[in-house]
Amino acid sequence: MAATEQGAIDLYYWPTPNGWKITIMLEECGLPYTIHPINIGKGDQFKPEFLAISPNNKMPAIVDPDGPGGEPISVFESGAILQYLGRKTGKFYPSDERRRVEVEQWLFWQMGGFGPMLGQTHHFRIYAPEQVPYAVQRYTNETNRLYGVLDKRLADREFVAGDYSIADMAIMPWAKLWERQGQNIEDFPNVKRWLEALLARPAVKRGLDVNAADRAATNLRDPAVQAVLFGQRARS
Ligand SMILES: N[C@@H](CCC(=O)N[C@@H](CS)C(=O)NCC(=O)O)C(=O)O
């Protein structure tokens, strides 16, 4: 494990869209953090010490040594982590109730729809060991519908929900992978403009760059990696 800077947040991470949400937020907030790689292709997510903070065996997860009351706190689920960091710093997550609800609607839209559906699109278009045309069509179409919703939302505003917020940080890492989701970004000009603006932010670039080489090292078409990620595991 890497040496931890005093007060630094421990981030359990692998460079994927859900992981990037958190490196981007930490970079945007200027919070110190220490990366603990969770190699999901090798099964680090099933280690008991990781399950103790992330019982759903998925990264990202954080441990903030300076949590509420000055005591450590662990948080799993990327949406909950973004909300926690937003409350902790007072940044990118408004405290005004109307503005907060606006952000939360789009954060949960990502957590409950845009993320899970696009994840299945990746699975059936790229990783599935057998071609299932119905599944490819079903998830590619649903992805297309979701991009349409996002494009409409962005037609008359710069960001998804008021000012730049954790909602943008949650959605963008998935939207930047439109090509592998069978989409044409030219069909969604407002998403394209928003995506380009976010990808130009220095903190976003730094966040997307964290341990980038690890991404190339995980071949999700490798049967050994697939056995870890797509095989059902008995829980101890
Ligand atoms: N809802 C979770 C999803 C996290 C997630 O799906 N993480 C994946 C990588 S992007 C993972 O850790 N997979 C390991 C596994 O499924 O065993 C979140 O947003 O934090």
Region 155-179: mean pLDDT is 98
Q: Are 172 and 198 in contact (CB under 8 A)?
A: yes
Rounded to the nearest whole angstrom, what is the distance from the C-alpha of residue 58 to the centroid of ligand 1? 4
CA-nearest residue for atom 6, ligand 1, is: 58
Ligand 1 mutation target, pool 42, 44, 58, most atoms within 8 A of CB: 58
Determine whether the shortest distance from the Cβ of 59 to ligand 1 is under 6 A.
yes
At 174 the pLDDT is: 98
Region 65-73: mean pLDDT is 97
Rounded to the nearest whole angstrom, what is the distance from the C-alpha of residue 59 to the centroid of ligand 1? 5
At 78 the pLDDT is: 98
Residue 3 pLDDT > 60:
no
> CB within 8 A of 20, min separation 6: which ones?
173, 207, 208, 210
pLDDT cut 90: percent of the chain above it: 88
Task: Write the pLDDT tens digit of every residue in 85-138.
Answer: 999 999 999 999 999 999 999 999 999 999 999 999 999 999 998 999 999 999
Residues 1-25 as b/e (b if ≥16 CB within 10 A, e otherwise) read eeeeeeebbbbbbbbbbbbbbbbbb
Rounded to the nearest whole angstrom, what is the distance from the C-alpha of residue 156 to the centroid of ligand 1? 32
Residue 162 pLDDT > 80:
yes
Residue 144 pLDDT > 90:
yes
Determine whether the shortest distance from the Cβ of 77 to ligand 1 is under 6 A.
yes
Query: 220: pLDDT confidence band, cut at 50, 70 and 90?
Result: confident
At 54 the pLDDT is: 98
Rounded to the nearest whole angstrom, what is the distance from the C-alpha of residue 151 to the centroid of ligand 1? 26
Read off the amino acid at residue 171: I
At 4 the pLDDT is: 59
Q: Are 33 and 11 in contact (CB under 8 A)?
A: yes
Determine whether the shortest distance from the Cβ of 122 to ligand 1 is under 6 A.
no
Residue 147 pLDDT > 90:
yes
At 13 the pLDDT is: 98
Give me the chain's average pLDDT, please. Answer: 95
DSSP annotation of 67: -
CA gap 25, 114 in Å, rounded? 19
Rounded to the nearest whole angstrom, what is the distance from the C-alpha of residue 155 to the centroid of ligand 1? 30
**Which of 139, 77, 149 lies closest to 106, judged by CA?**
149
208 exposure class (CB count in 10 Å sphere: 0-12, 13-18, 19+): buried
Task: Write the pLDDT tens digit of every residue in 70-83.
Answer: 999 999 999 999 99
Determine whether the shortest distance from the Cβ of 120 to ligand 1 is under 6 A.
no
Atom of ligand 1 nearest to the CA of 16: 10
CA-nearest residue for atom 2, ligand 1, is: 77
Q: Are 188 and 151 in contact (CB under 8 A)?
A: yes
Rounded to the nearest whole angstrom, what is the distance from the C-alpha of residue 115 to the centroid of ligand 1? 10
Query: 143: pLDDT confidence band, cut at 50, 70 and 90?
Result: very high
* pTM of this structure: 0.95
pLDDT cut 70: percent of the chain above it: 96
CA-nearest residue for atom 5, ligand 1, is: 58
Rounded to the nearest whole angstrom, what is the distance from the C-alpha of residue 41 to the centroid of ligand 1? 12
CA-nearest residue for atom 8, ligand 1, is: 58
